[in-house]
Structure formats: C-alpha cells, structure tokens
C-alpha cells in the first residue's frame, strides 16, 4: 500500500500542476478526492486491512490527504490571481515614473562648456587636492604673502590643501602645453568660509585662460561678451573695474549689463544696470616665468568666478545654500 500511495501522490501533484483553469483543477480534485476518487478509495479499503496495519496506513493516508488539500488550495490561489478579473487591463493608463533631472549647477556648467567649446576652448580637469605650489606659489602668491588670506584654506599638512580656486589648473595646463592655448576648467573649490546667503565652504568655479601673441583686454572683453550674451540669451555689454589678483596684472572685476532690464536699472541689478560676476586680468609675467613661457612673446588673459553665482543670477535664486541641500522641490524646477 505504501508504494501505491507514493505513486498516487506523484499523480495528484502532476494533475494539480497541469491544471490551467479552475475547471481543470476541480476535475483533478474530483478525480482523486471526490466521493469516487482514487484517494477516497484507499480510505474505503482501510477497514478491510489487518488490525496491526491500520494505524500506519491511516497515518499515511491522512498525510497524503493533507498534502493534496494544500496543493489544491495553493494552485487555486495561483489561478485566482491570474483569473480574468485580475488579468492585465491594457486600457488602464500606465504608471508614471519620475525621472531625474540635472542639478542647476550641472545645467549651467554644461551650457558654459558648450559655449566655450564653440569658441575653440579645451575643457580641462584638475585635482581638488592641490599642493601649495600650484594653488599659490606658481600663481605669484609668495610664501607668507598677505594675499593668501584672501582665500581661507583647508590645509591637509605636507604642503597640500583643498584647492581654494580653479586657477591652479591654468598652471598645470601651461606646464603641459605650449602656447597658443585656450582652455576652461570647471570644478569644486573649498574655503573655510562660514556659510551664509552667498558663501558655502564648498562651491564651484569656472576658470578660463587664453594665451597667444598680442592677446589684450579687447580679446577678453570680446570673449566674455559672447559668453554672457549666449548664457543669458540677451546681448550684454561688459564693464571692467580695477581689482587685484596676484596672478593677473592688470586685474579687473567683470560686470555685464543686466540681462533682465538691459541696463536701465531694475531690482535684479539693484538699479545699477550692471551685474558683478568675478575676476579677470592679463596673466602676470611672473606666472609665465614660473612655467617657462617667454613673456616677451606671449600674452594672455585669465578669468574666474563662481558657478553658483552664475546660476543664482540666471535663475533668480537668493540663497546659495539651496544648491547643496538636495531638496527635490527646489531641484525639480530646472530644465
Ligand atoms: C578667485 O578665486 C580667482 N582665482 C579668480 C580669477 C581667476 C581672477 C583668473 C583672475 C583671473 P575670488 O576669490 O574672487 O577669485 O573668487 C571668485 C569667485 O568664487 C567669487 O566671485 C565667488 O563667486 C566665488 N566664491 C569664492 N568664495 C566662495 C564661497 N565661499 N562660496 C561660494 N562662492 C565663492
């Protein structure tokens, strides 16, 4: 009997498995567990078995019955979940997946790269952990010079620091390439500045450098005019005011005519008609000397400012701290 029951167990499992509809499953149940079913027939035989065999056979039959019931119930549930009422309704509208967007700083950086690429500038990258030499010394900040205090630094020891500006990439590029050259770099910078509406300890800068024969302030103005006009989608004028950086001489503070009012004065430009953006100047001959460029033959300009500042101006954002906060309600507004 044991062997026969084993065989029957296999048959029941196969029949339940093979059922594709509720009707087929019911037919399998009737075939094995119905009044005249194969398993029921074994229960009927139980009475005619010798007394000593009855308990073992009874236990085997009960186990098989329980297994069969469980198999049938499980299969019924499976068929139920793919029954017609639960089947895929192709007329239902699809679920929307929220897709990611570019961070506003990435949008501005990409736009800036595209504009400068179209003006034949290379895009160069440099390390964020810098040596004192590239961050300061080669840029004409002598050791202990007070100009270093203009940029509060995170020192790492061994003469290394987190770069305070992207200007070291100028030096690294000039070391590797002979003039003429045109490059920009965009990347993270670090200063131990307290956070406020316009400062964060980590921020991004864009830096540009162009070196050739007879480069002058007119070239700088021309390139910047093209850049800001394209970025702000409005023809702008460029204004230079005297400034100071150790690595440029003369140095200027760059402003462009307000992209909102066109220069007539509005709340965005605080009624001045101009928006200050950052520093620039003609590369100091001392910088060329430290790289080994002939400063009698080559001249060049450099410029640099905050990407956050550009984004704040372009999108009308009044607090720089919104950029690193990663609040999706803020980030979701930029295309
Ligand atoms: C410089 O860093 C120069 N390297 C720029 C330069 C390059 C001048 C080439 C001449 C030629 P400055 O320290 O002013 O300059 O910083 C430039 C810009 O970086 C600032 O105008 C500001 O937009 C941004 N910036 C500086 N510190 C912070 C800060 N803590 N948080 C946010 N933005 C900052």
Ligand 1 pocket, residues with Cβ under 6 angstroms: 150-151, 165, 167, 191, 193, 199-200, 203, 205, 207, 245, 248, 278-281, 302-306, 308-309, 320
Note the pLDDT of residue 83: 61
Nearest CA to ligand 1 atom 25: 306
Note the pLDDT of residue 48: 86
313 alpha carbon – ligand 1 mean position (Å): 15
Structural element, H or E, at residue 283: strand 274-283
Q: Taken in order 212, 218, 221, 222, is the CA torsion positive or negative?
A: negative
Closest CA to 257 of 239, 279, 283: 239
231 alpha carbon – ligand 1 mean position (Å): 19
Neighbours of 217 (CB within 10 A): 14
Domain parsing of the chain, residue ranges: 2-87, 104-331
Note the pLDDT of residue 82: 64
Task: List per-residue pLDDT tens for the chain, 335 residues long.
Answer: 778 888 988 999 999 899 888 888 999 899 999 999 888 888 888 888 888 888 888 888 899 899 989 998 998 888 877 665 567 788 888 888 888 899 999 999 999 999 999 999 999 999 999 999 999 999 999 888 887 888 899 999 899 999 999 999 999 999 999 999 999 999 999 999 999 999 999 999 999 999 999 999 999 999 999 999 999 999 999 999 999 999 999 999 999 999 999 999 998 899 999 999 999 999 999 999 999 999 999 999 999 999 999 999 999 999 999 999 999 999 999 97
Q: Are 243 and 279 contacting, i.e. CB atoms less than 8 angstroms apart?
A: yes
Note the pLDDT of residue 150: 83
Quote the pTM value: 0.75
Note the pLDDT of residue 84: 57
Nearest CA to ligand 1 atom 32: 199
Q: Which CATH class is domain 104-331?
A: alpha beta
CA–CA gap between residue 309 and residue 232 (Å, rounded): 13
């Amino acid at each position: 009997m044991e062997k026969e029951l084993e065989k029957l167990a296999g048959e029941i499992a196969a029949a339940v498995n093979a059922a594709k509809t509720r009707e087929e499953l019911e037919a399998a149940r009737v075939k094995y567990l119905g009044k005249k079913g194969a398993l029921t027939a074994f229960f009927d035989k139980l009475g005619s078995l010798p007394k000593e065999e009855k308990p073992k056979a009874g236990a085997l039959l009960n186990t098989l019955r329980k297994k069969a019931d469980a198999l049938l119930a499980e299969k019924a549930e499976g068929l139920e979940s793919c029954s017609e009422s639960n089947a895929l309704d192709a007329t239902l509208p699809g679920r929307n997946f929220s897709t990611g967007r570019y961070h506003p700083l990435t949008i501005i950086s990409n736009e800036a790269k595209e504009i400068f690429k179209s003006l034949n500038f290379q895009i160069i990258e440099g390390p964020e952990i810098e040596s004192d030499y590239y961050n300061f010394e080669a840029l004409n900040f002598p050791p202990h010079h007070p100009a270093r205090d203009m940029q509060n630094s995170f020192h790492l020891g061994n003469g290394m620091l987190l770069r305070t500006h992207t200007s070291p990439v100028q030096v690294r590029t000039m070391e590797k390439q002979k003039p003429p050259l045109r490059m920009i770099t965009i990347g993270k910078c670090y200063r131990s500045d307290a956070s406020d509406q316009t400062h964060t300890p980590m921020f991004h800068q864009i830096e540009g450098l162009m070196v050739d024969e007879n480069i002058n302030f007119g070239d700088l103005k021309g390139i910047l005019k093209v850049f800001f006009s394209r970025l702000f989608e409005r023809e702008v004028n460029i204004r230079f005011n005297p400034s100071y950086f150790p690595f440029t001489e003369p140095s200027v503070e760059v402003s462009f005519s307000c992209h909102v009012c066109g220069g007539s004065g509005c709340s965005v430009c605080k009624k001045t008609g101009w928006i200050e953006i950052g520093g620039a100047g003609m590369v100091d001959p001392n910088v060329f000397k430290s790289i080994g460029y002939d400063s009698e033959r080559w001249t060049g300009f450099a410029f640099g400012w905050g990407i956050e500042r550009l984004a704040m101006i372009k999108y009308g954002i009044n607090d720089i701290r919104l950029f690193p906060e990663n609040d999706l309600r803020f980030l979701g507004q930029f295309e």
